[in-house]
Amino acid sequence: MTATLLLPAVLRPTVGGQAAVATEAATVGEALDRLADQWPQLERRLRDEQGHLRQHVRLYLGDTDIADLDGMATRLSDGARLHIIPAVSGGSC
């Protein structure tokens, strides 16, 4: 399955300035595993070194948070669009 990950502007320098990257994967977790090889700087901003999604990162499949689906096991259909969202809970003043 080919899935497209859509990046917020702040992460685009990690993939050469692209707004989106495509990867072949059957699940969300597999897509991130592929990212670790293709774009390691991007992948480690989404997951820590033990593979846990960072606390203030949200991944939306279409308009649904994968936390409300099957998490990393969420299956991707061909042409799926996975949005990377910095949660409003993050940040520092």
Nearer Cβ to another protein (41/77)? 41
Answer positive or negative: Cα dihedral of 9, 28, 86, 90.
negative
Q: By CB under 8 A, is residue 79 in contact with another protein?
A: no
| Contact residue for another protein among 16, 17, 79, 91 (CB under 8 A) | 91
Q: By CB under 8 A, is residue 54 in contact with another protein?
A: yes
CB of 14 to another protein, least distance (A): 9
Nearer Cβ to another protein (38/75)? 38
CB contact burial 53-79 (16+ within 10 A = b; e otherwise): beeeebbbbeeeebeebeebebebeee
Amino acid at 13: P
Main-chain phi, psi angles of 90, to 5 degrees: -80, 175
Which positions lie near another protein, rule CB under 8 A?
A: 10-11, 40-41, 44-46, 48-50, 52, 54, 56-57, 86-87, 90-92
